[in-house]
Every structure is written in structure tokens, then in C-alpha cells.
């Protein structure tokens, strides 16, 4: 059994993504920052000033889209003032979020003769990126 994964490089990640603004002290946060990715699902990487901050995935449930999940990370009230929100809000450089939607991941993770759902491929990519990039926001 072989699984082949096309992993984006650190350079590709830090060169890409959307600039996202953290909402602090009751400020509003808008999903429109994500353009057409707001309603998609997949894996995302927050980075700032060339530093990888956090890798996450969103595939199902109430917060199963990039828009809903990122609102819970970038808005103080929605985040419950989580440690991840504090990390993001405390960045001195703009934060960018690099997104790989389920269609991207379907092409990037080849399970050979096995059948894997797109959600499983997202889980695989998320775990591989966390293992390789070791972002501080994923350390528990």
C-alpha cells in the first residue's frame, strides 16, 4: 500500500494566501476576506512574517467551512479568547492564510488502489504539514 502526497513547500505557503485581519476587543470580522474560499472546506496554514503559525482543517460540522472556522480563530468573542487567537492577534506582521480546498487535496493525495474520502485526504495533509512545519499554534 502506498500513498503519494504532493506537499506544498514552505516557500509556496509563505508566498501565498490571503491577508487576514484579527478582530480584537469586539471588532467585527468578515468572511469576505476569504473571497470565494469562505464557503469551501479543506486545510489551511496561518503564517506571518515568514513564520508558520498554525495548521488546521475544516471538513464537517457546524464550523465546517473556512469562513466559519477562521471566524472562530480570528474574532475574540467567537474564539473564547483562545490561545490560538491570542497568538494570531499578537502578530506584529500581517497574517496570511494559505488554503487548500477539498478539490486541491483530492489531486494532491493519491491513495493508489485504496479509496479515501476527500475528508480523509484533508486529515492526512493536515497531519503531514503539522509534522513537517511544527507550528507553535499546534503545540499542546
Domain that holds residue 65: 4-138
Q: So what's the pLDDT on residue 94?
A: 92
CB atoms within 10 A of CB 5: 14
Question: Using one digit for the tens of pLDDT, what is the confidence trace for 85-95?
Answer: 889 988 889 99
The number of distinct structural domains making up the chain is: 1
- Domain with residue 126: its CATH number is 3.40.1440.10
Residue 40 contacts residue 52 (beta carbons within 8 Å): no
Helices (H), the chain: 10-15, 66-74, 76-79, 83-89, 102-108, 118-133
Question: Using one digit for the tens of pLDDT, what is the confidence trace for 30-82?
Answer: 888 888 899 999 999 999 999 999 999 998 876 689 999 998 888 878 888 78
pTM of the full predicted structure?
Answer: 0.93
d(CA 31, CA 29): 7
Question: Using one digit for the tens of pLDDT, what is the confidence trace for 39-53?
Answer: 999 999 999 999 999
Amino acid at each position: 500500500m502506498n500513498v503519494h502526497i504532493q506537499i506544498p513547500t514552505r516557500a509556496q505557503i509563505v508566498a501565498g494566501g490571503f491577508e487576514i485581519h484579527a478582530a480584537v476587543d469586539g471588532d467585527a470580522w468578515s468572511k469576505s476576506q476569504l473571497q470565494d474560499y469562505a464557503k469551501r472546506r479543506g486545510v489551511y496554514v496561518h503564517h506571518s512574517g515568514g513564520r508558520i503559525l498554525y495548521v488546521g482543517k475544516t471538513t464537517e460540522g457546524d464550523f465546517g467551512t473556512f469562513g466559519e472556522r477562521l471566524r472562530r480563530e480570528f474574532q475574540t468573542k467567537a474564539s473564547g479568547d483562545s490561545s490560538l487567537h491570542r497568538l494570531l492577534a499578537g502578530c506584529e506582521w500581517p497574517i496570511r492564510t494559505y488554503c487548500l480546498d477539498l478539490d486541491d487535496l483530492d489531486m494532491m493525495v493519491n491513495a493508489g488502489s485504496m479509496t479515501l474520502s476527500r475528508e480523509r485526504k484533508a486529515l492526512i495533509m493536515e497531519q503531514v504539514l503539522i509534522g513537517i512545519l511544527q507550528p507553535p499554534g499546534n503545540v499542546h
